[in-house]
Amino acid sequence: MAMALRALGRRISHSDRFFSSLSEAAKPPSDGKLINLFTAINQALHIALDTDPRSYVFGEDVRFGGVFRCTTGLTDKFGRDRVFNTPLCEQGIIGFAIGLAAMGNRAIAEIQFADYIYPAFDQIVNEAAKFRYRSGNEFNCGGLTVRSPYGAVGHGGHYHSQSPESFFCHVPGLKVVIPRSPRQAKGLLLSCIRDPNPVIFFEPKLLYRLSVEEVPEDDYMLPLSEAEVIRQGSDITLIGWGAQLSILEQACDAAAKEGISCELIDLKTLIPWDKETVESSVRKTGKLLISHEAPVTGGFGAEISASIVERCFLRLEAPIARVCGLDTPFPLVYEQFYLPTMNKILDAIKATVKY
């Protein structure tokens, strides 16, 4: 999977709003060293703290480097006043971060696992998302970035594997961003930190060590709200984000052996999402399949499906397929039956194409 992801890195194309073929012209900055996801995030945090003296990183256990090592070396370089541990109170952490951001600072708060974000849900939804709106732009918490590892990891069980992205996609005023690889993560995280809106940045924890890619060492940003076409195809469009993309890639390869040409899109930013890129792709292929780990009912795939039906109803040749987690709590054993695996996606691709 690492090889595939590395290959992915080299074929990056930046899709502009009018969908075009792979453009060699829009190449990202010079190739750097091979590093994994947590190192890329670490580099992004270093750069963010370097470039803005009023930015802070805090959360549970971040001082020694964090349970996933994303914050190593920050305390040594920037000091305890800017990189510090908080007590175990997610509601307090995020509320406090909102306050920091409201006073013009960049607050980069870490929630140790996305499953623990729920006590902070109230602060995020009721305060962060509405701060600018209800104060008539007197104050805003645009400097807020919440980073959190999410997603299945193989042995996580109920409370170390959840994907809560769809809860936040339902809240106007927030942005939700999910990277798929180290190079994306660094650029997107820097964009999120510097974006003048509150952003939730979910990091696929499965990929922290697994995903390795060449990442430039300098400061670069990738645009938010732009989806990316990773693979060209003509028979069906596949959409995913985060760790699920590698599964979708495998399914693409398997489908290619059966003569089905798949177009693969990484949504990157879930809210506000790039409807135009997806729409142009569906206009080309006529079929769509969405895949995410979160439970299918009410997951973000439902929003994509409804929007695309509104826009491309007459062009669609088959119902939009959603291959997602089941509508149960994340199970302890039998994770592989719960998750949208490659086989499930392949079956759905075939069923959709042959509709």
Minimum distance of another protein from residue 85's CB (angstroms): 5
Interface with another protein includes 355 (CB under 8 A)?
Answer: no
Minimum distance of another protein from residue 95's CB (angstroms): 10
Count of Cβ atoms closer than 10 Å to residue 336 Cβ: 11
Minimum distance of another protein from residue 156's CB (angstroms): 7
Minimum distance of another protein from residue 78's CB (angstroms): 18
Q: Among 90, 19, 11, which residue's Cα sits nearest to residue 274? A: 19
**Which residues, 152 to 211, sit near another protein by CB under 8 A?**
155-160
> For another protein, which is the closer residue by CB, 307 or 341?
341
Interface with another protein includes 241 (CB under 8 A)?
Answer: no
Q: Helix, strand, or coil here: 179?
A: coil
Figure out which of the listed residues 61, 219, 253, 303 binds another protein, where binding follows CB under 8 A: 61
144 and 98 Cβ atoms separated by less than 8 Å: yes
Q: For residue 167, give Cα distances in angstroms to 149, 175, 222, 295.
A: 15, 12, 24, 11
Rounded Cα–Cα distance for residues 355 and 353 (Å): 6
Interface with another protein includes 306 (CB under 8 A)?
Answer: no
List all residues 6 or more positions away from 182 whose beta carbon is below 8 Å from its beta carbon.
35, 36, 37, 39, 40, 211, 212, 213, 215
**Which residues, 277 to 296, sit near another protein by CB under 8 A?**
296
Binding mask 103-122 for another protein (x = CB under 8 A): ------------xx--x---
List all residues 6 or more positions away from 228 whose beta carbon is below 8 Å from its beta carbon.
12, 13, 14, 15, 265, 266, 268, 277
Figure out which of the listed residues 91, 225, 232, 250 binds another protein, where binding follows CB under 8 A: 91
Figure out which of the listed residues 111, 152, 227, 345 binds another protein, where binding follows CB under 8 A: 345
Figure out which of the listed residues 26, 103, 306, 351 binds another protein, where binding follows CB under 8 A: 351
> For another protein, which is the closer residue by CB, 89 or 103?
89
Exposure b/e, 215-235, CB count within 10 A at least 16 = b: bbeebbbbebbbbbbbbebeb
Rounded Cα–Cα distance for residues 305 and 276 (Å): 14
- Of the candidate spans 166-174, 222-230, 235-243, 347-355, the one that interacts with another protein by CB under 8 A turns out to be 347-355
Instruction: Report, as residue numbers or ranges, the catalytic residues.
Output: 90, 160
**Which residues, 2 to 31, sit near another protein by CB under 8 A?**
none
CA-atom Rg of the chain in angstroms: 20
Minimum distance of another protein from residue 247's CB (angstroms): 11
State the DSSP code for 242: T
**Which residues, 216 to 235, sit near another protein by CB under 8 A?**
none
> For another protein, which is the closer residue by CB, 61 or 276?
61
Interface with another protein includes 132 (CB under 8 A)?
Answer: no
Interface with another protein includes 133 (CB under 8 A)?
Answer: no
> For another protein, which is the closer residue by CB, 210 or 326?
326
Minimum distance of another protein from residue 194's CB (angstroms): 29
324 and 241 Cβ atoms separated by less than 8 Å: no
Minimum distance of another protein from residue 224's CB (angstroms): 29
Rounded Cα–Cα distance for residues 14 and 248 (Å): 19
Interface with another protein includes 124 (CB under 8 A)?
Answer: no
Rounded Cα–Cα distance for residues 145 and 345 (Å): 33
Rounded Cα–Cα distance for residues 344 and 94 (Å): 37
Interface residue list for another protein (CB under 8 A): 60-61, 63-64, 67, 85-89, 91-92, 115-116, 119, 155-160, 296-297, 321-324, 326-329, 331-334, 337-338, 340-341, 343-345, 347-348, 351
